[in-house]
Amino acid sequence: MLLFKTYIKESAIPNAGMGCFAAEFIPKGAKLWEFNPQIDRLITPEQFATFTQLEKDFLSMYCYMQRGDYYLCVDNGRFFNHSETPNTWESPSEQATFAAVDIQPGEEITSDYAKFGDTPDDMHFNLTL
């Protein structure tokens, strides 16, 4: 669940589609997203296998994988786009995202998908988002 106000609009990143943008100032070091099991969704591989292909396609687009499980952000966090020079960093042990720099209102929030996951399978899945 995002801990700061954001909004969605078209990203300037080529072929990225929509992106998540800060609606307020986010200071460097601030936790801006954390997994909230009351809102976000954890989907096991066994559950994933029961979905229709259409549902799997949706989940493959918007989930990230951690330790083989799928995590679906139900808020604007699912619109973070990939960047090799992101303005955030992930703490897998905390299931949280932190601001790597000050993020100004109107700035797109980006993550390095190559840093998601604990296993090679996690990272392969996340890089194909």
3-class SS string, 39-86: CCEEECHHHHHCCCHHHHHHHHHHEEEECCEEEECCCHHHHCEECCCC
The pLDDT value given to residue 129: 56
The pLDDT value given to residue 64: 87
Q: What is the pLDDT of residues 20-32, one digit of tens each?
A: 999 999 999 999 9
Q: CATH code at 114?
A: 2.170.270.10
The pLDDT value given to residue 18: 96
d(CA 101, CA 123): 24
Phi, psi of 85 (to 5 degrees): -130, 70
Residue 15 in any domain: the answer is yes
Residue 55 in any domain: the answer is yes
Rg of the chain taking only CA atoms, in angstroms? 14
Provide the number of structural domains found in the chain. Answer: 1
Residue 75 in any domain: the answer is yes
Residue 73 in any domain: the answer is yes
The pLDDT value given to residue 102: 98
**Cβ atoms of residues 6 and 23 within 8 Å:** yes
- Spell out, as residue ranges, where the chain has pLDDT lower than 50: none
Q: Is 52 exposed, middle or buried (0-12, 13-18, 19+ CB in 10 A)?
A: exposed
What angle is formed at CA 18 by the lines to CA 75 and CA 108, rounded to 5 degrees? 80
Residue 1 in any domain: the answer is no
Residue 27 in any domain: the answer is yes
Range of the domain at 96: 6-127
